[in-house]
Structure 1
Amino acid sequence: MSLTRLQISASLAPVVLPAFYVTATESSAISQLRLVDWNLAADDVATVLYDVDGDTRVFVDAARETDGIEDVEVPRSTGGSGFVLVTATPDALPFFRTFLVLTARAGLLVRSPVTYSDFETRGEVVGDAEALQAAVDTAPQTIDVSIEEIGSQPSVRMDPLSALSIRQREAVRTAFEHGYYRHPRETTHAELADELGCAPNTVSEHLQKAEVKLIKALVP
């Protein structure tokens, strides 16, 4: 068996999606869900950490109204987007559990994040291509899995924030928490300067340098 990186996508029939996923698809307030970590080891409970790209409140409200969702935990608001920890019965996340079971049986490693938007999920798995194809062949008809890309080794991933200095990271997080990156902006360089204990032009410099580093980390 040769180690292979496979970028896969799966088109999902709405019937296999929990109600809060359908809400995330249909709401203009949410552009994407990112599944950044999960624990499905227990037979009776599943815990999934989501990073919501959009209005977290819309996602949280929909999750709390979905059958099988036992608990929803949210950190304090950070500009309208952020992490949500969902605890649910396995039946509340049928397609995700099926996906993980299929890949586990094939001896494949699923790497995070697994993204979801527009009735489609995407992710990267590492293992044997033939084993993945065998798993795909046994997938339910409600999940249409396809291999989009094959590589010889896993992709290198780095936290973009790790490229920032401590002060740049502090400036970006403070700006985000105070709505600087919202439209329209909810704060100014002067107000951020008061929070950070520095001059407004220093805030501007920190943000500009940080933004350049983040863009370079995200754009090939």
Structure 2
Amino acid sequence: MKHVRVRITARGGAGDIHPMYGVMTEASFVERATAIQWNYTGDALGILHYVVGDADALERAMQEIPEVVGYDMERIDERSCYVYVRDATTDSLQKMFSPISSGGIIVVPPIEYESDGTVVFSMFGPDDEVQDAIEGVSVPVDVTIEAVGGLAGTTTAIEAHLTNRQRRVVEIAVELGYYDIPRTASQKDIAAKLACAPSTIAEHLRKAESRILRAQFA
């Protein structure tokens, strides 16, 4: 069995593969997006996203996309929301998604969208099937293997090492830009958001970062 961390780059063609793929990776009003869970049936795709950005602009965009046959949005705050989207698939999306959704392969959540049109995700399964899936993606994208290892290196497994409070602090740190380059938020900003002392935030971050790194490299 093999776990691989895969990066798929559309080179500016994400919208040609599927309009919602283009929105999540290339739209200026989406700052960050993650596919939390999904169900792919070949001709349809139900997918739950966590999105940071302009929710109003996102909703307007979805209303203009014929392939979006239904959606539901739950706003978390002014800059983030959960969005469930029911998509009709395109031929290109099927050619990209079908090879990694067949046989004994499991795609381990989440799928992380990036602003340059790439998606990053983890796959787990028999070595030969994982290799065949990667080679079977026939749409014009670049497929890069970033890491090979065991399940302990997946995002879900790493998150399991965190307490609920540590996970919440890290989520807010990411949301506010604490891990951006250059950094756009401080521990004081995170503390203000969570109504606690900066020293408490520092302790939670130190312990969370230690657990994440130990899980990744142990």
1:74 alignment partner, SS class: strand
- Tell me the CA shift for residue 150 of structure 1: 1.4
Aligned with residue 6 of structure 1, among 4, 15, 21: 4
Structure 2 alignment gaps of length 5 or more: 178-183
Partner of 2:108 in structure 1?
111
In structure 2, C-alpha distance between the alignment counterparts of 1:141 and 1:94, rounded to whole Å: 6
TM-score of the superposed pair, with normalisation by structure 1: 0.68
Give, as a single letter, the amino acid of the residue that structure 2 aligns with 1:64. Q
In structure 1, C-alpha distance between the alignment counterparts of 2:14 and 2:73, rounded to whole Å: 26
TM-score of the superposed pair, with normalisation by structure 2: 0.69
- Tell me the CA shift for residue 50 of structure 1: 0.8
Residues 20, 57 of structure 1: CA spacing in aligned structure 2 closer, same or farther, 3 A cutoff?
Answer: farther
In structure 2, C-alpha distance between the alignment counterparts of 1:169 and 1:8, rounded to whole Å: 24
Residues 8, 181 of structure 1: CA spacing in aligned structure 2 closer, same or farther, 3 A cutoff?
Answer: closer
Aligned with residue 145 of structure 2, among 139, 147, 170: 147
Query: Taking every aligned residue pair, what percent have the same amino acid on both sides?
Result: 19
2:153 alignment partner, SS class: coil
Give, as a single letter, the amino acid of the residue that structure 2 aligns with 1:63. M
- Kindly report which structure 2 residues correspond to 1:21-170, keeping only aligned pairs within 5 A, or say none: 21-41=21-41, 44-91=43-90, 94-95=92-93, 97-117=94-114, 118-155=116-153, 157-159=157-159, 162-165=162-165
Give, as a single letter, the amino acid of the residue that structure 2 aligns with 1:21. Y
- Tell me the CA shift for residue 20 of structure 1: 3.6
For the aligned residues, what is the CA RMSD? 3.8
1:60 alignment partner, SS class: helix
Q: Is the 8 A contact 1:60 1:84 kept in 2?
A: no
